Amino acid sequence: MAISIVPRPAHVTHYGGRYDETLCPLTYRADPSLPAEGYRITLRADGGEAAYADDGGRFYAAQTLRQLRAPDGTYPCVCIEDAPRYPYRAFMVDSARHMQSVAQLKTLIEAAALLKFNRFHWHLTDDQGWRMESQSFPRLNEISAWRACDGFLNDDGVRYGGCYTREEIRDIVAFCAERQITVIPEIDMPGHMVALLAAYPDLSCTGRVTAVSTHAGIHKDVLCVGKDATFQMMTRLLDEVCDLFPGEWVHIGGDEVPPQRWQNCEDCRARMRRLGVTDPAALHSDFINRIAAYLKAKGRRAVTWNDTLKGGDLDRDVVVCNWMDKTGRCIDRANSGGLVIEEDFFHYYLDYPYGMTPLRKTYGFDPMRAGLTEIGRANVIGVETPIWTEFVRDFKQLCFMCFPRMLAVAERGWTPPQLLNGKDFAARARALLPLLQTIGITAAPPKTWDPRALGRWKGLAQHYCRVLRVAHENRGVEEA
Ligand code: ACM
Ligand code: ZN
């Protein structure tokens, strides 16, 4: 009988019969000959063993056993030899637009660990809120963390916000570490900074940012990168980040930076003259490269969104998340030696409805894009799926959007491509729902996963999805 595990293991041999752990306890044994994060579970009627390559492998053997265990405490007799396809398997949570409680984040992390994700990219700052408690800059906690109302489409007039305390952040980092998950914090700069600028308007080009944003979209006000004070504050903040987050990688954003303010700012123009450039994209690269160099000197590595490739000379060591690249820059980047993470908007953005991004579409996305050379393929280190929360207000809705699509990304990140099969996957995803429920995750019901049978509403639904997509792609810069 086939076993039901997500992500699907690389090799399974069936022996027949049942293994009962209470009769002969399972033993764990290190086996350095196994591939990184790999394990081999051997279960026979007369005994069980889990061999593992490293701490990750040991943990993943236990997660597989958790899924394999029948309600009566027995297991099928099998040999499972397993290791991940990609070393980088991440989920991202936007805690800036809407926050999740520490308990809710832990529930999500627990489910992600069960699915063998090994990175949690935590989007902590944005135009609409600052969520990392700061020791050096208390106005971030007092002003930037709060907006006048929940906002977006809901002007309820009730102040919304808060930030995670340093103890809470350390608690999350430790909780993740126990589950072989490294946290990658994101402080998004130099765009998506309106919340910070509301407390420190001197760091904007105009000096006139007055409020934390309450609406979605791309904001014209960004950090003034012509001022030394901006670099000084960002580096002091990154000192705090490095103090709280022990992982090597730090995400510094770099997405969606409109050039207008820089073009009209004396300080930014002066910096462009000193650099001998006329294109604001080059000013953007210069800022990101300076921040990346600062992190490098501290033994850290910068990660950015692919928008930072526009300037043309992004430091070789900066890792790039490919969320929306219409020009093939990420392919060139990987082919020429830069590390790339695949996070495709049309397949992996889980804040979009199932009508636009059905489960089968997420499952079918191949991160190995056409045009990658052999070197390029080796530099695509894995996959990441974000849940942005402008319109995802509570945890129930977040779980509905993430599950089961997170399972699809987990399987793409782990399972050898020749074993991927959408129908078989959907059946295993269904079988996992009760275990997810015991963790505290209520997934979207199966009838919503692949809304192909919308009957006469199909045309209308497709039209709606096209409008949504075009609206997102052309997300205009605000007029202010
Ligand atoms: C992004 O969605 N702006 C990375
Ligand atoms: Zn400026």
Q: What is the pLDDT of residues 260-276, one digit of tens each?
A: 999 999 999 999 999 99
| 124 and 257 together in one domain | yes
Query: Which long-range CB contacts under 8 A does 325-332 form with residues at least 24 apart?
Result: 328/371, 330/306, 330/369, 331/369, 331/371, 331/372, 331/376
pLDDT per residue as tens digits for the range 216-250: 999 999 999 999 999 999 999 999 999 999 999 99
Domain boundary among 36, 54, 82: 82
Residue numbers of the domain that contains 27: 11-82
| 445 and 348 together in one domain | yes
pLDDT per residue as tens digits for the range 343-375: 999 999 999 999 999 999 999 999 999 999 999
Q: Is the per-residue pLDDT at 313 higher than 70?
A: yes
The residues, ordered by sequence, that sit 6+ positions from 206 with a Cβ below 8 Å of its Cβ are 221, 261, 265
Q: Is the per-residue pLDDT at 470 higher than 60?
A: no
E strand or H helix at 470: helix 458-473
In a domain, 2, yes or no: no
| 96 and 59 together in one domain | no
Q: Is the per-residue pLDDT at 35 higher than 70?
A: yes
Instruction: Give percent above pLDDT 70 in the chain.
Output: 94
pLDDT per residue as tens digits for the range 127-179: 999 999 999 999 999 999 999 999 998 888 899 999 999 999 999 999 999 99
E strand or H helix at 11: strand 11-20
| 100 and 150 together in one domain | yes
| Distance from residue 208's CA to the centre of ligand 2 (Å) | 12
- What CATH number did the domain enclosing 55 receive? 3.30.379.10
Report residue 148: phi and psi, to 5°: -65, -30
Position 479 confidence tier, pLDDT thresholds 50, 70, 90: very low
* Test site for ligand 1: of 92, 193, 324, most ligand atoms within 8 A of the Cβ: 324
Q: Are strands 146-147 and 160-161 parallel, antiparallel or unpaired?
A: antiparallel
* Test site for ligand 1: of 256, 320, 352, 474, most ligand atoms within 8 A of the Cβ: 256
Quick check: helix, strand or coil at residue 29? Answer: strand
| 240 and 308 together in one domain | yes
Rounded CA-CA distance 475/273 in Å is: 31
| 139 and 46 together in one domain | no
Ligand 1 atom 3: residue of nearest CA: 255
| Distance from residue 323's CA to the centre of ligand 1 (Å) | 7
Tokens coding 23? 């009769």
Closest CA to 31 of 55, 50, 57, 51: 51
Closest CA to 308 of 331, 292, 284: 284
Ligand 1 atom 1: residue of nearest CA: 255
Domain boundary among 82, 112, 141: 82
| Distance from residue 253's CA to the centre of ligand 1 (Å) | 8
Domain boundary among 55, 82, 109: 82
The residues, ordered by sequence, that sit 6+ positions from 382 with a Cβ below 8 Å of its Cβ are 86, 87, 88, 89, 90, 341, 342, 367, 413
In a domain, 368, yes or no: yes
Rounded CA-CA distance 137/18 in Å is: 59
Contact in structure between 119 and 89 (CB atoms under 8 Å): yes
Q: Is the per-residue pLDDT at 457 higher than 90?
A: no
| 59 and 172 together in one domain | no
| 104 and 66 together in one domain | no
Residue 473: per-residue pLDDT: 47
Position 327 confidence tier, pLDDT thresholds 50, 70, 90: very high
In a domain, 223, yes or no: yes
- Token pair 């006048």 is found at 148
| Distance from residue 226's CA to the centre of ligand 2 (Å) | 5
Position 110 confidence tier, pLDDT thresholds 50, 70, 90: very high
pLDDT per residue as tens digits for the range 404-422: 999 999 999 999 999 999 9
Rounded CA-CA distance 13/76 in Å is: 11
Q: Is the per-residue pLDDT at 469 higher than 90?
A: no
Closest CA to 114 of 179, 57, 69: 179
E strand or H helix at 410: helix 405-414
In a domain, 391, yes or no: yes
Report the pocket of ligand 1 as residue ranges, CB < 6 Å. 255-256, 305, 323
Helices (H), 42-117: 55-68, 102-114
The atom number, within ligand 1, closest to the CA of 388 reads: 2
In a domain, 479, yes or no: no
Tokens coding 295? 């992190």
SS3 labels along 259-303: CHHHHCCHHHHHHHHHHCCCCHHHHHHHHHHHHHHHHHHCCCEEE
> What does the pLDDT average to over 325-344?
98
Rounded CA-CA distance 455/345 in Å is: 27
How many domains does one find in the chain? 2
Rounded CA-CA distance 160/286 in Å is: 35
- What CATH number did the domain enclosing 442 receive? 3.20.20.80
The set of catalytic residues is 126, 192, 256
| 73 and 92 together in one domain | no
> What does the pLDDT average to over 455-468?
57
Rounded CA-CA distance 14/1 in Å is: 8
Rounded CA-CA distance 98/128 in Å is: 9
Q: Is the per-residue pLDDT at 459 higher than 80?
A: no
Contact in structure between 40 and 149 (CB atoms under 8 Å): no
| Distance from residue 264's CA to the centre of ligand 2 (Å) | 8
For residue 4, CA distances in Å to 80, 100, 210 come to 12, 31, 54
> What does the pLDDT average to over 176-200?
98
The residues, ordered by sequence, that sit 6+ positions from 178 with a Cβ below 8 Å of its Cβ are none
Quick check: helix, strand or coil at residue 358? Answer: coil
Residue 463: per-residue pLDDT: 57
| 424 and 335 together in one domain | yes
The atom number, within ligand 1, closest to the CA of 192 reads: 3
Closest CA to 41 of 87, 5, 72, 71: 5
> What does the pLDDT average to over 58-76?
97
In a domain, 6, yes or no: no
For residue 475, CA distances in Å to 356, 433, 438 come to 17, 35, 39
Stated pTM of the model: 0.95
In a domain, 19, yes or no: yes
In a domain, 5, yes or no: no
* Test site for ligand 1: of 255, 306, 352, most ligand atoms within 8 A of the Cβ: 255
Residue 156: per-residue pLDDT: 86
Position 460 confidence tier, pLDDT thresholds 50, 70, 90: low
| 213 and 284 together in one domain | yes
| 204 and 290 together in one domain | yes
Residue 461: per-residue pLDDT: 60
